[in-house]
Amino acid sequence: MNAPPSLVPPDELIQDALGRLTEVSRSAGHGEWVPPAVPVCTARLRQAIDGAGLERGEALTVALLLAVECDASIARMIATVQAPVGGGRVLAGLAASLFAHEQVSAPGLWCSRAVAAGLVVWGDEPAPLPERTLSMPSWLAAALSGFTALPPGVSDLAQPRVILTAPAFGAAATQAKSLAHPVNGKKPLLVVRANCPAEGEAMACAVAEAAGLQPCSVTDASVPGLGTWLAVMGRMPVLHRSAAPGEPIDLTSLELFLTPITPPTSAGTFLWHSFVTPKTPGTNAPNSAATYELRALVPVPHKLAVKGSFEAKLRAAVLTGLLTEVGKAQAHADVFVATSGSDAFPIHARTDAHGRFTVKERISRTTTFLLDVPDQTVDCTGATTAPGGCLSTTISAAGGKRVRVVVPPAHG
């Protein structure tokens, strides 16, 4: 493990997350606690958050988990405010409470981009989601703190040195340029065929260095956060595969190295395609005749507008909303409405043909509602080149909303 020459404390996200924890600690009677300065590598932390496309609430959760891994006094305060239910690991319920203003919830964290990127790992306790622990892998915590710690299944290249010719270095530079540009929205994969492992590793190393990256050998693609670690550390994975003449090599595990794709920012409806080829039962050979297509639609902008009011006659909160995609109504979409601080199952509503919906819920006091529009799965439209057809189209989720409905004081 080695440290970089300089770190950049304090980080704004870390400060904000610890500020929320300080407020809770004071409410719990620990007003004397002062959060420590946590030195982290802000550039790497921001790269991880931006690469995963995290919203503010998820980013604050990641910052808090990083701080817990870096300073024992923070872990002890976490244990104190969570007593007697939890220990030094952050419970999902605590994260949801600290960052409720950013619409963080335990179910939302379960299916979040932070989890997909490996920045947040759930504990396997046999407990409800709010009482399960959240943590950050140690190798990611080290990386975001400015250090280098190799994840499990990752090592430095170990083959004997092979001297390459000048034309080989020129070819490596050409390949490095091609790897920097996605093809049809996908990251390219370079396969190096060589007479021996040392020769192949030397060529892969030359390509990585020409791309400004440091190569590393990867033997386990299932490690949480591996894609994020590779990105923030500027590493290029090198995998060794050996096969007999005519034997196919399975490369499906390479998808685990891809970091989440950042959605487009320009207006429009963006269509992504994926083609899946299943294996033939019994032989495991690719069954090309059964290849099918899956699609994803990402409308930009994708907006949820909500207004809340209190209807005194019914003693109920009335939430009215409009869901639009690229300025047009999104019809028949699911909308879930949860009450902040409640474990009750969310209310389910659907938009009408004009993209509108109304939810009424009896309340006795001022209440904050959290509204969420998840991914919508619909049938495919239009032709497909896949022999097995197009199975479904997923419309990406819209950003959630937080609405506070005030109950006026009773008169008389």
Long-range CB pairs of 85-89 (<8 Å, 24+ gap) are 85/131, 86/131, 86/133, 87/133, 89/123, 89/133, 89/134, 89/135
Is residue 384's pLDDT more than 80?
yes
**366: pLDDT confidence band, cut at 50, 70 and 90?**
very high
Angle in degrees, CA 139, 140, 144, rounded to 5: 120
Query: Residue 337 pLDDT more than 60?
Result: yes
What is residue 252's three-state secondary structure? Answer: helix
335 token code pair: 């909308």
pLDDT digits (tens, 9 = 90+) for 132-153: 999 999 999 999 999 988 999 8
Q: What angle do CA 151, 142, 30 make, to 5 degrees?
A: 135
- Provide the pLDDT for residue 322: 96
Q: Which two tokens mark 286? A: 């690719």
For residue 83, give both structure tokens.
């007593």
Residue 248 is predicted with a pLDDT of: 62
Residue 405: pLDDT over 60: yes
For 33, counting Cβ atoms within 10 Å of its Cβ (0-12 exposed, 13-18 middle, 19+ buried), the class is middle
For residue 52, give the nearest of 259, 250, 204, 217 by alpha carbon: 259
> How much is the pLDDT for 343?
60
Q: 124-128, 240-244, 321-325 — which is least confidently predicted?
A: 240-244
| In the predicted structure, residue 232 carries a pLDDT above the cut 50 | yes
Evaluate if residue 229 carries a pLDDT over 80. yes
Return the minimum-mean-pLDDT range out of 262-266, 377-381, 392-396: 262-266
Q: What is the pLDDT of residue 73?
A: 92
The pLDDT value recorded for residue 221 is 78
Summarised one tens digit per residue, pLDDT across range 172-222 is 787 777 776 665 555 666 777 777 788 888 888 888 888 888 888 888 878
Taking only the tens place, the pLDDT of each residue in 242-259 is 766 656 666 554 444 444
User: Can you name the CATH fold of 298-405?
Assistant: Immunoglobulin-like (2.60.40)
- Say what the pLDDT of residue 186 is: 58
Q: What is the pLDDT of residue 238?
A: 85
User: What is the per-residue pLDDT for 255?
Assistant: 41
Confidence of residue 336 (pLDDT cuts 50, 70, 90): confident
For the segment 61-66, the average pLDDT, to the nearest whole number, is: 95
Half-sphere exposure of 84 (CA within 13 A, CB side): 0
- The upper half-sphere exposure of residue 119, i.e. CA atoms within 13 Å in the direction of its Cβ, equals 33
Q: What is the mean pLDDT of residues 302-309?
A: 94
| Tokens matching residue 326 | 């690229």
Strand order in the sheet with 214-218: 154-155, 214-218, 235-238
For the chain, the average pLDDT equals: 84
Asked if residue 84 has a cis previous peptide bond (ω within 30° of 0), the answer is yes
| SS3 state at 45 | helix
Q: What is the pLDDT of residue 1?
A: 46
pLDDT at 352 over 80: yes
The pTM of the full predicted model, rounded to 2 decimals, is 0.60
Q: Is the per-residue pLDDT at 261 higher than 70?
A: no
